[in-house]
Structure 1
Amino acid sequence: MPTSPTYRPEPRFFDLGEDYGDAVLPADFPETRLRVRNDRAAATVGLDTLTDAEWIAHFGRFEPLPGQPGPVAMRYHGHQFRTYNPDLGDGRGFLAAQLRDDQGRLLDLGTKGSGQTPWSRGADGRLTLKGGVREVLAAAMLEAQGVPTSRALSLIETGEALERGDEPSPTRSAVLVRLSHSHVRFGTFQRTAYLERPDLTAALAEHARALYHPSVAVGDVPGLMAAIVAASARLTARWVAAGFVHGVLNTDNLNVTGESFDYGPWRFLPHYEPGFTAAYFDQFGLYAFARQPEAVFWALTQLGGALKPIADVGALTEALNGFGPRYITELRAAFLERLGVRSLGEAADQRLVDTTLALLRESGEALRWEPLFHDWFGGFSSSERALRGPRARLYQGETFDAFRFALFEHEPDRPERLEHPVFAGVEPEEMLIDEVETIWAAIDRADDWAPFHAKLERLAAVRDARQQV
C-alpha cells in the first residue's frame, strides 16, 4: 500500500512477548464484500488513503499492514456474571495492528469474527452479519453522545452461512475491525495473577502505565489503579447519562483506558427504568441499567485483587475507594454536557441531575429518555422550542417546575450549537431496539443497506451538532 504520511505503526503489545498472546492465522473467507468503510476514523490513523482493494486485503484477508508483525490472539481470563473463567482469550478475534492517531494516542485495530484461535473452545470463530451491524450502530450512537467508545472501522460480509441457536439460522457472516484505545482488559491482569506470575503482572502494569497513563510515575501501581478507576468512573457515568445498557459487564469486557468496546446484547433505554436489562440471559438483572456502577466497581475490585502481589494493599484500596466520589462528579459533568449547559457548582449541578431523573421517573413511559435531552439542550435557549414541541403537555407540574428551575440556573454552553439543523427537528435520533430490528430486516430480506447508511449519516450529524467547537 502507498503509506500515508500520517500512518505511524507502533506494535507495542507485541513487545510483551509470547506470554501474553498467540500468533494466529485469519480465516480464509469465501467472499469479502465491503459494507462499512469508516474513512473519518481511518483518517485519524493514516489509513484513509487505502483503495477499496487494499482495504479488503488488510481488513478482509488481513494481510499485515506495513510495520506490523501479524495478528496475535490476546490471552486473558475473567469473571463472567461473577463466575471466574480461566478458559477465555480472543476466541473469534485478534489484535491486527497498533498505530498512533493524530492526537498521539496508541490505538489498536482489533477484530471480531476473524476465525478460530487457540481460545475458541470449539466455537467457529465467526461473527454474524447482524452482530456486526449492531456493533457499528452502537458505536456510532455512543460516539454521537460523547461516550468514550471504540469505533467500527470496517465491516466486511464474508459469504458464510452460520448456525446460531439464539437467532434464525443459517444467517449471514461478517468480519468487523474496530479502532480502540486498548484491548488490555481487567481480565488480562487476572490471568497473570491466576498463574501466580508477579513478574508478568508487573511487566503488564508497566506496559499499561507507559502507554495509556503516562502521567503516573514509573513503578506506581496504586497510581495506575487510581487512573483506571477514574477512567472507568467517567465511562460508567456517561453510559448512564446516555441511557445506555452495555449488557455484559464481565471483567474481560472492561479495559484499562475506560473505553467502551465489544458490544453484544446492548440496549438504550426507551424511558427511565432502573431495572432495564439488555441481555435475555441476565435473568437476575446483574447488569441492569441502574446497577452498572455497582458492576464496574465490582470488576475494579477484581483488578485490584490481581494487582495485590505487586503493590501495597492499603494504597490499592484507597485508589479503589475513589470510584464512588469520582463517579458522582463524572455523572454531574455528563448530565450537564448532555443538556448543553455550564457548571454552576457542585450543589446546583447535583440539583440538576436529581431533578432530571425525578422528571423522567415521574413521567414513566410517556417521556422517553432521549427526547428530554433533545428538547432541553441548551437550557433556557431551548425553552420556546421545547414548550411548542410534541411533548409540551408533559412539561408541566411541580416536578417539571423543579427541573426547569435547576436547568435555568445554568448558563447555556455554546448556544450557537442550536443553530445546527439537528435541533430544528422535533424528534431526536434514538437507537431503540425496534428501529435496530427494522434496519436489520431491510438488509436481511432485501439486501437493502439504505436505512442503515442513512442512520449512520444522521448520527454523524448529531455528533457534529453536539460536539462542534
Structure 2
Amino acid sequence: MNFNNHFLTLNPAFYHCQLPKPLNHAQMMVFNSTLAQQLSKETFSEQQWLELCSGQALPPGAEPLAMKYGGHQFGGWNPELGDGRGLLLGQIIATDDQSYDLHLKGAGQTPYSRHADGRAVLRSSIREFLCSEAMHGLGIATTRALAVTNSQSHVFRETAETGAMLLRVANSHIRFGHFEYFSFNQQHDLLKELLDYTIKQHFPEVTADDYHGFFSAVVSRTAKLIAQWQAQGFCHGVMNTDNMSIIGDTFDYGPFAFLDDYQPGYICNHSDYQGRYAFDRQPAIGMWNLQCLAAAISPLCEPEQLKAALEQYETHLRKHYLQLITHKLGLNINTPEIAPLISGLLNIFTEQKIDYHFFFRKLTLWVEQDLPEAKQASLTLDLENPATLQWLDDYRRAMLEHAIDGTHTTAAAVMAQKNPIYVLRNWYCQQAIEAAEAGDFSVVQQLFEAVSRPFEVRAELSHFSMPPPQQGKHMEISCSS
C-alpha cells in the first residue's frame, strides 16, 4: 500500500498520535472485496486484511492519530469532542490515483473519549457498514466501509455487547466542528492553517486563501447532499455539526433510517425528544449548521460574502431536489406541471400512509407496462380516492407529453435506475444484526449484496425488496454504540 498521513503536517494541536488497541480473538465478519480491489492493486491474504481491520498490524507509512474538534450537539455547543473511539490511520493512494482516508472505528480510548471505553459494538458497526454501502449504491455522497471485525471482547452499554471494529474509507474526515473548535478558542492562526490545508487537499476548484469561495463550495455541496437525502427518503438522525463532513459526504452513521410509510415528521433517533432532526427538518438543519460554520470562519472572512453564500443554499437545494424527484417520476425537468405533481403526490403519501420506496418501484413497473388505465394499475395508492385518480390522470398525461428522453419507454429505463428495488430498511437491518450476534453472518452478507447494488433484480434476494410488516415500520434507533 502507498500509505502516508498528511494530516500530521498540521500543528499538533489538531490531533493526538497513538496506536490502536487490538480486539481479542478478532475474526472477519464481513469484508468489502470490491472496495479493497479499488483501494490497492496489491494482493493481501485474508490474515493480512484481518490484522489491519482489527488493529493488530499497520501498513508501512501508517501513523494513527485521533482528531480534535468540537461541535453543536442538538443545538448546544460542546467543546469537549474529538475522536473518542476512532483513529485516522492515514491516507492511501488508490488505483484511481485519488487519496482516501482509512479510519479504524472502535480502536480504543483516546484523550477525547470522555471516560468512555473507546470501543464500538457489533450492532452499530454492522449498521454503518451496511448503510454507507447502501448510500454508495444509491449514488449518494458518503463515506464507505471496508470491513467489520468482531471479537470475544465484551463492552458494556445498556447490557454486555460484542466489541467490534469498522474500517471506514473516506475522502476526508474533517468536520464542521473542526473549524468551530479553533474559532471558539480564538486560535485564528490554527483556523487559518486548517482552512489552507482543507482547500489544498479537498477543494481543487478553490484558489488558495479564497475562504469565501471555499464556503460557497461547502454550501453547494451540503445542499446537494441534503437534497439527495430528501429525494431518497433518508433520515440521518443526528445532524450535529461534528457529524457534518466539510466535503459534503454523508458522515457518522448512527440512528439513521430510510422511510417506510411516508411521514414528513418522522423521527428515527429515540433520543431526539423534540424532533430536532426529524426527516422534514433536515433541510433547515443543514442551513443552521452552515450558519455555525460561517460564524466559525468569520474572523477570516467578510460577513456580507458569507451571507451571500448562505442565501444560495435554498436555491441549490431546490434545484437538486427537483431534478432528483423529477427523474424518479421519469419526467423532464421542464415539465410545466411538475411542481403540483410533486406536491400532490407527497400529500397523497401523507394522507394514505404510502410506503415511499415501494410506491416508486411500482410506479416504474406501471410506466414499463405502457401506462394502463389507473384502475388496472398495480399501485399502492387508494384507487377509489378521487384525488388519487386525478393525480394518476395528470401524471399519465405528463408522462405521455414530457417523458424524460422522449418516450415513456425510455423514461421507464431512467426510473429503473433511480427507484431502488432494495432499500436498507431498519427492519431488515435489525434481523441481520440479531443473526450476527447469534453467530450467523450470512444475513449481513446477503443484505450487503442487495443494498450495494440496489437497482439489479436478483430473485434470490427478493425478500429484501418488500416493505416490512406493520410492527417493523418506523423503528427508532439508539445513539448508543
- What TM-score, normalized by structure 2, do the two folds share? 0.86
1 CA distance for matches of 2:366 and 2:377? 15
- Are residue 344 (structure 1) and residue 333 (structure 2) matched? yes
Paired residues of 1:355 and 1:403 also in contact (CA < 8 A): no
Contact 1:275 1:289 (C-alpha < 8 Å) held by counterparts: yes
Distance 1:241 1:134 in 2: 21
Is 1:285 paired with 2:285? no
Bigger mean CA offset, 139-148 vs 242-251: 139-148
Decide whether aligned partners of structure 1 residues 103 and 311 sit closer, same or farther in structure 2, where only a CA change above 3 A counts. farther
State how far apart, in whole Å, the 2-side matches of 1:106 and 1:173 are: 29
Q: Which amino acid aligns with 2:221?
A: A
Take 2:339 and 2:345, find their aligned partners in 1: how far apart are those partners? 10
Which residue in 1 is equivalent to 2:471? none
**Equivalence map 1:13-412=2 (5 Å):** 13-46=7-40, 49-68=43-62, 70-165=63-158, 169-339=159-329, 341=330, 343-345=332-334, 347=336, 349-364=338-353, 367-377=354-364, 380-381=367-368, 383-384=370-371, 390-391=378-379, 394=382, 396-408=388-400, 409-412=402-405
2:449 to 457, 461, 466: 457
Q: Distance in 2 between matches of 1:25 and 1:436?
A: 32
Deviation at 1:121, TM superposition (A): 0.7
User: How large is the RMSD of aligned CA atoms in angstroms?
Assistant: 2.8
Range 344-353 or range 184-193, more displaced = 344-353
Distance 1:416 1:111 in 2: 44
Q: Distance in 2 between matches of 1:382 and 1:181?
A: 42
Q: For residue 359 of structure 2, what is the amino acid of its counterpart? A: L
SS at match of 1:30: coil
- The one-letter code of the counterpart of 2:453 is A
The answer on whether the counterparts of 1:58 and 1:65 sit within 8 Å (CA) in structure 2 is yes
Measured at CA, do residues 160 and 319 of structure 1 come closer, stay the same or move farther in structure 2, by a change above 3 Å? Answer: same
CA distance 1:313–1:73, shift in 2 (3 Å): same
SS in 2 for 1:88: strand
Which has the larger displacement, 101-110 or 198-207?
A: 101-110
Contact 1:358 1:399 in 2 (8 A): no
Query: Alpha-carbon deviations, 1:115-139, whole Å to 9, x = none?
Result: 1100001000111101111111211
Between stretches 242-251 and 26-35, larger displacement belongs to: 26-35
Q: Which amino acid aligns with 1:178?
A: R
Question: Quick one: distance in 1 between partners of 2:301 and 2:203?
Answer: 17
Structure 1 residue 52: Cα displacement: 0.9
Aligned partners of 1:347, 1:285: CA distance in 2, in Å? 35
Q: Take 1:105 and 1:118, find their aligned partners in 2: how far apart are those partners?
A: 31
Match of 2:478 in 1: none
Gaps of 5+ in 1: none
User: Do 2:345 and 2:391's aligned partners in 1 also have CA atoms closer than 8 Å?
Assistant: no
Letter in 2 for 1:138: C
Percent of aligned pairs sharing the same letter: 27
Once the 2 structures are TM-superposed, how far is the Cα of residue 12 of structure 1 from its aligned partner? 2.2
Deviations along 1:366-398, whole A, 9 cap, x unmatched?
Answer: x20111221234884355599777536646511
**1:342/1:413 contact within 8 Å kept:** no
Q: Which has the higher relative contact order, 1 or 2, with Cα contacts under 8 A spaced 6 or more apart? A: 2
349-358 vs 198-207, which deviates more?
349-358
Q: 1:18 to 1:401 in 2, by over 3 A?
A: same
Contact residue 225 and residue 248 of structure 2 kept, 8 A: yes
Q: Distance in 1 between matches of 2:14 and 2:50?
A: 28
Once the two structures are TM-superposed, the CA of residue 254 in structure 1 deviates from its matched residue by 0.3
Verify the 8 A CA contact 2:73 2:240 in the aligned structure 1.
Answer: yes
Q: Per the alignment, do residues 355 and 189 of structure 1 end up closer, same or farther by CA in structure 2, a change over 3 Å counting? A: same
Q: Compute the displacement of 1:405 (Å).
A: 3.8
Q: CA 1:95–1:393 in structure 2 vs 1: closer, same or farther (change >3 Å)? A: closer
> How much has 1:218 moved relative to structure 2?
1.4
CA contact (8 A) 1:379 1:407 kept: no
Q: Is the 8 A contact 1:131 1:264 kept in 2?
A: yes
Unpaired runs of 5+ in structure 2? 458-481
The answer as to whether partners of 2:92 and 2:101 remain within 8 angstroms in 1 is yes
Residue by residue, what CA displacement relative to the aligned partner does 1:413-449 show, whole Å, maximum 9, x if unpaired?
A: 99679789x979x99323322222222222223x112
Letter in 2 for 1:269: L
CA distance in 2, matches of 1:125, 1:186: 22
Question: How much does 1:294 deviate?
Answer: 0.7
Change (3 A) 1:32 1:463: farther
C-alpha distance in 1, partners of 2:144/2:366? Answer: 30
Paired residue secondary structure (1:183): coil
| Closer/same/farther in 2, CA of residues 407 and 87 from structure 1, 3 Å limit | farther
| CA gap 1:101/1:321 in 2 versus in 1, 3 angstroms | farther
User: 2 CA distance for matches of 1:283 and 1:428?
Assistant: 32
CA spacing shift, 1:330–1:120, aligned 2, 3 Å: same
- The number of equivalent residue pairs is 449
Q: What is the CA-CA distance between 1:75 and the residue it aligns to? A: 0.6
Distance 1:215 1:72 in 2: 28
